[in-house]
């Protein structure tokens, strides 16, 4: 339970900033070893503060959970999405052999 709380966001269940750093370190080592590339994406929800201010924090939390779910649904199991805090998410897309795969994923995230 303590490990879970230290490494995962309680609202979304996603890895948190601490776990993201660990996964990024491992992904970079694996890329170097296997000769693949990775992409690191930063996602910020525009106007999120307005949702909290006008609709309340419960709606803001609902929006964050839904955003996390939608981001995850665009990715493969081997990729990582983490909530960095507030309305910020980071994504590690691993095992890229060429940019074509990334160009396939990016439009889904928008």
Catalytic site positions: 87
Distance CA 94, CA 67 (A): 21
Q: In what order do the strands lie in the sheet with 88-96?
A: 37-44, 88-96, 80-85
Distance CA 51, CA 17 (A): 23
The separation between CA 62 and the C-alpha centre of its own chain, rounded to angstroms, equals 16
Token pair listed for 59: 């709606």
Token pair listed for 75: 């990715």
Distance CA 83, CA 78 (A): 17
């Amino acid at each position: 339970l303590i490990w879970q709380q230290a490494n995962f966001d309680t609202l979304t269940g996603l890895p948190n900033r601490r776990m993201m750093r660990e996964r990024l370190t491992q992904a970079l080592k694996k890329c170097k070893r296997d000769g693949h590339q990775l992409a690191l994406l930063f996602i910020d929800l525009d106007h999120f503060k307005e949702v909290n201010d006008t609709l309340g924090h419960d709606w803001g939390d609902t929006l964050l959970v839904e955003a996390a779910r939608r981001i995850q649904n665009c990715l493969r199991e081997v990729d990582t999405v983490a909530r960095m805090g507030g309305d910020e998410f980071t994504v590690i897309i691993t095992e890229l052999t060429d940019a074509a795969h990334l160009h396939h994923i990016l439009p889904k995230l928008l």
